[in-house]
């Protein structure tokens, strides 16, 4: 599923606009660069600038947090900024960890996995789940986002973590059409179906339609 809202965006003809990707997560940067390679923008990341304190993610939804981060970093750095907020939603846990996915208890992801399995132990399988990615793109001077979208990928929580690939919750997210977790597939196969790949492909289409060539 992908939901999209967009507004007009223009740049000076003949220039390649710089765009900030507001994350320091190397896995996310790798995926986003892969999707946006060849798009008519020059990508910058937060590590290209002096350190900026992270904002407090106070939103109650992925969309609210994505917009909060996009506005915050766009103002701090002075560039058009795309930010995303993403996480794991588990039906048996009433949608948790949801927007708290990165902050779910545990210093490492194996520790987070163990906590989730303890919570899920009293619930019958299959444990239906989805990854969600909300994206927001803003200009420093614009009060309203120029583009937003939200994308999901449906799956289940695997009985145990499997696979060395990906990052975050990928090793426990089982995708039935692949008969594997997202930790067992290549970046290319993951991006073809995953939430972040879907969202940033929509963003790429929007950039290519709105960039003033």
Residues spanned by the domain of 12: 2-210
* DSSP one-letter code for 39: S
Q: Return the half-sphere exposure (C-beta side, CA atoms, 13 A cut-off) of residue 5.
A: 12
Neighbours of 139 (CB within 10 A): 17
Q: What is the pLDDT along the chain (213 residues), one digit of tens a residue?
A: 444 443 444 444 344 678 999 999 999 999 999 999 999 999 999 999 999 999 999 999 999 999 999 999 999 999 999 999 999 999 999 999 999 999 999 999 999 999 999 999 999 999 999 999 999 999 998 779 999 999 999 999 999 999 999 999 999 999 999 999 999 999 999 999 999 999 999 999 999 998 754
The structure's pTM equals: 0.89
Q: How far is CA 122 from CA 11, 46, 93, 118, in A?
A: 55, 42, 11, 8
pLDDT at 12: 43
Distances (CA, A) of 8 to 62, 103, 121, 189: 23, 35, 49, 32
Active site residues: 85
The total domain count for the chain is 1
């Amino acid at each position: 599923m992908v939901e999209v809202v967009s507004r007009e965006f223009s740049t000076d003809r003949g220039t390649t606009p710089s765009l900030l990707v507001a994350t320091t997560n190397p896995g996310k940067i790798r995926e986003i660069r892969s999707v946006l390679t060849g798009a008519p923008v020059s990508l910058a990341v937060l590590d290209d600038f002096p350190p900026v304190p992270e904002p407090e993610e106070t939103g109650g939804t992925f969309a609210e947090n994505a917009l909060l981060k996009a506005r915050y970093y766009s103002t701090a750095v002075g560039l058009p900024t795309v930010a995303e907020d993403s996480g794991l939603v588990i039906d048996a846990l009433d949608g948790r960890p949801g927007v708290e996915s990165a902050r779910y208890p545990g210093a490492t992801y194996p520790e987070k996995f163990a906590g989730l399995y303890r919570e899920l132990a009293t619930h019958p399988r299959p444990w239906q789940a989805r990854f969600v990615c909300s994206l927001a793109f803003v200009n420093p001077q614009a009060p309203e986002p120029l583009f937003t979208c939200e994308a999901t990928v449906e799956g289940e929580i695997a009985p145990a973590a499997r696979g060395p690939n990906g990052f975050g919750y990928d090793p426990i997210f089982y995708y039935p059409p692949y008969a594997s977790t997202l930790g067992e597939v290549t970046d290319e196969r993951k991006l073809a179906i995953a939430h972040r790949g879907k969202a940033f492909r929509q963003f790429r289409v929007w950039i290519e339609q709105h960039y003033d060539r």
